[in-house]
A and B are shown apart, each in its own frame.
Chain A
Amino acid sequence: MKHPRPAAIAAVVAAPAALAVAFAWAGGWIGPKRLGGGAIADALEYNGGSHPGYRRAHAKGLCFTGVFEANGAGASLSRAAVFEAGSYPVFGRFSTAGGDPFATDGRNVFHAMALQITSPEGEIWRLAMDHTPIFPVATPQAFVELQRASRPDPATGKPDPAVMKDYLSRHPETKAYQDYIAAAPLPDSFANGTYYSINAFRFIDSAGEARAVRWSFEPETPLTVLDKQRLKEVPTDHLFDDMRERLTHGPVRWRMKIVVAAPGDPKSDATIAWPSDRRTVETGVLRIDRAGPEEAGLCRDVTFDPTILPAGIGLSDDPLLPARSAAYSSSFRRRAVETPGPSAVGKSLGAH
Chain B
Amino acid sequence: MPTRFPLTIRLLHWGMAVLILAMLFVGVGMLSTAGPAYAALLSLHRPLGAALFILVVIRLTIRLQTRAPPLPEDMPSLQKAVAKGSHVLLYAAMIAMPLIGWAMLSAGGYPVKLGPSFSLPPLVPQDLQLFGLLRTAHTLTAFAFFALILGHLSAALIHAFIRRDGVFSAMGFGRSRAKSSLSSSEVDG
Chain A residues proximal to chain B, CB less than 8 Å? 1-2, 4-5, 8-9, 11-12, 15-16, 19-20, 22-23, 26-28, 34-40, 122-124, 140, 300-303, 307-308, 311, 315, 317, 319, 321-323, 325-327, 332-333, 335-338, 340
Contact = CB atoms under 8 A, between A and B. Distances in A.
B91 interface: no
Nearest to B36: A322
Sort chain B's interface into a size bin.
35 or more
A37 to B, nearest CB: 5
Given A28-B32, A311-B116, A336-B129, 10 more contacts: A12-B162, A23-B25, A27-B32, A28-B33, A319-B35, A322-B34, A322-B37, A325-B42, A326-B30, A336-B108
Nearest to B118: A311
A11 B160 CA distance: 10
Contacts of A40: 34
Interface in B101-149: 108-111, 116-117, 119, 126-129, 131-133, 135-136, 146, 149
Interface stretch (B7-15, B57-65, B150-158, B173-181): B150-158
Contacts of B24: 23
B51 interface: no
B39 A34 contact: no
Nearest to B117: A311
A15 B31 contact: no
A315 B39 contact: yes
Contacts of A124: 111
24 contacts: A1-B163, A4-B162, A12-B154, A12-B158, A15-B153, A16-B153, A23-B28, A34-B33, A36-B34, A37-B38, A122-B119, A140-B35, A302-B126, A303-B109, A311-B116, A319-B35, A322-B35, A322-B37, A326-B33, A326-B34, A336-B108, A336-B131, A336-B132, A336-B135
Contacts of A332: 108, 131
Contact of B39 (A26, A28, A325): A325
Interface in B47-71: none
A23 B32 contact: no
User: Which 7 A-B pairs give the minimum distances between C-beta atoms?
Assistant: A28-B32, A336-B132, A27-B28, A8-B161, A326-B34, A337-B132, A302-B109
A12 B161 contact: yes
B154 to A, nearest CB: 5
Residue from A9, A35, A302, A322 with most neighbouring chain B CB atoms (10 Å):
A322
A45 to B, nearest CB: 15
A47 to B, nearest CB: 16
Contacts of A323: 34-35, 38
Nearest to A37: B34
B2 interface: no
Contacts of A333: 132, 135
B84 interface: no
Contact of B34 (A2, A16, A39): A39
Residue from A26, A36, A323 with most neighbouring chain B CB atoms (10 Å):
A26
A329 B25 CA distance: 19
A37 B31 contact: yes
Contacts of B146: 23
B154 A27 contact: no
A123 B108 CA distance: 16
B35 A11 contact: no
